[in-house]
Chains A and B, each alone.
Chain A
Amino acid sequence: TQLLEQSPQFLSIQEGENLTVYCNSSSVFSSLQWYRQEPGEGPVLLVTVVTGGEVKKLKRLTFQFGDARKDSSLHITAAQPGDTGLYLCAGPFLDSNYQLIWGAGTKLIIKP
């Protein structure tokens, strides 16, 4: 069974601090995606990582795909209140019709 375990589930830090969110599995994924969702809105795709060991940067956000393609991390440098939201990782089911498996999400609060 493919599962994505996301940690931590909740994180509240001060503005300017750094943080890392993890998305782990015992299964290999062809790709992993990271989404951010704000209250009352749908998730918005941040990035897709496809190649083992790949690192992608989106301003202060750094995404990494594990060498074995079983895990991914999201690192935020100098967090700002605008980074507050629910961060979700997701990966495709094997042999699926574009269906995704979802992590439980990380609720991030950045205090000014």
Chain B
Amino acid sequence: GAVVSQHPSRVICKSGTSVKIECRSLDFQATTMFWYRQFPKQSLMLMATSNEGSKATYEQGVEKDKFLINHASLTLSTLTVTSAHPEDSSFYICSAPQYGSSYEQYFGPGTRLTVT
């Protein structure tokens, strides 16, 4: 199956700093990638849709200036959490659909962000 990698898997940062999370599709091209946030024991919450070569589409309530998304190539999307605060601590997961596969999405392993 398709492989999506995510880096880093865990990051601890101090309040006020910025953190960049990378999401790569390893064996296929992805013009679209999705960024999710997940709270403990809960389902996925879509934050934004990352589009290669154009601006990301953010879901209602997600601050675009705080969660910067860049989709620089067909295999890489990055999420930067700017001026992180403890309430931004969460599990962030990216996914990429494999086109022609009934909308099936392939997920990265996730990034656990802890802001102290």
Q: What residues of chain A have their CB less than 8 Å away from a CB belonging to chain B? A: 30-31, 33, 35, 40-45, 48, 50, 86, 88, 90, 92, 96-100, 102-105, 107
Cβ–Cβ contact B49 & A99, under 8 A: yes
Asked if B49 and A97 sit within 8 Å, CB to CB, the answer is yes
Instruction: Tell me how far the C-beta of B42 lies from the nearest C-beta in chain A, rounded to whole angstroms.
Output: 7
Q: How large is the interface on B (under 10, 10 to 19, 20 to 34, 35 or more residues)?
A: 20 to 34
B107 touches A42 (CB 8 A): yes
The chain B residue with its CB closest to the CB of A106 is B43
Q: Which residue of B lies closest to A31 (CB)?
A: B102
Q: In the docked arrangement, what's the CA distance between A35 and B32, Å?
A: 20
Q: What is the interface of chain B, defined by CB distance below 8 A to chain A?
A: 1, 4, 6, 32, 34, 41-44, 46, 49, 51, 91, 93, 95, 97, 99, 101-110, 112
Whole-angstrom CA separation of A43 from B44 in the bound complex: 9
Closest CB in chain B relative to A48 CB, distance in Å: 5
Give the docked Cα–Cα distance between A30 and B112 (Å): 33
Docked complex Cα distance between A98 and B4 (Å): 16
Knowing A41-B110, A42-B95, the reply to whether A98 touches B105 (Cβ < 8 A) is: yes
B107 CB, nearest partner CB in chain A, Å: 3
Knowing A98-B32, A99-B34, A102-B44 touch, does A42 contact B93 (C-beta < 8 A)?
Answer: yes
Q: What is the bound-complex CA distance between A63 and B42, given in angstroms?
A: 22
**B residues near A86, Cβ cutoff 8 Å:** 41
